[in-house]
């Protein structure tokens, strides 16, 4: 399981950041140029820092995704095909092209489900 980052706060406000990380879990090979992980293809640049700063300034709780949207997009319905993208910003993601239904389900269970369970809690 890949847990999101959780920041506690006392305000009645919850901030979420679905695309805040470019991290790829061990054992996942997306087959793309490592230089792309610093670009928008992999992460909404600055989202994690902005969410953390807003949470601190507002004394708000925050839940921040810790895995790149190229591994699984936590802002999509897990039942739709593009929850695990085969292309993004004009780049193919070879490591996602031939995933079996079981491999897809394992990613949903390990990353997407815990993220949304944390939001719902």
- Rounded CA-CA distance 10/21 in Å is 25
- Predicted local confidence at residue 108, as pLDDT: 97
- Predicted local confidence at residue 73, as pLDDT: 98
For the segment 22-38, what is each residue's pLDDT rounded down to a tens digit?
999 999 999 999 999 99
Check: CB of residue 18 under 8 Å from CB of residue 66.
no
Q: Which residue has the tokens 């489900």?
A: 113
- Predicted local confidence at residue 1, as pLDDT: 80
Check: CB of residue 74 under 8 Å from CB of residue 18.
yes
Which pair of structure tokens corresponds to residue 88? 């993004």
**DSSP-derived pairing of the beta strands 14-17 and 61-64:** parallel
- Rounded CA-CA distance 77/62 in Å is 21
Q: Which residues of the chain have pLDDT under 70?
A: none
- Phi, then psi, of 38 in degrees rounded to 5: -90, 0
- Predicted local confidence at residue 14, as pLDDT: 98
Domains of the chain from N-terminus onward: 5-120 (3.40.630.40)
Which pair of structure tokens corresponds to residue 36? 């792309």
């Amino acid at each position: 399981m890949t847990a999101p980052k959780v920041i506690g706060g006392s305000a009645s406000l919850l901030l979420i950041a679905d695309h805040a990380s470019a991290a790829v879990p061990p054992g996942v090979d997306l087959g793309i140029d490592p230089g792309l992980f610093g670009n928008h293809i992999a992460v909404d640049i600055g989202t994690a820092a902005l969410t953390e700063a807003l949470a601190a300034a507002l004394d708000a709780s925050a839940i921040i995704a810790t895995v790149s949207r190229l591994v699984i997009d936590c802002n999509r319905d897990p039942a739709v095909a593009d929850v695990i993208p085969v292309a993004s910003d004009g780049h193919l993601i070879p490591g996602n092209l031939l995933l079996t239904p079981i491999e897809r389900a394992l990613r949903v269970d390990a990353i997407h489900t815990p993220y949304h369970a944390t939001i719902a809690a």
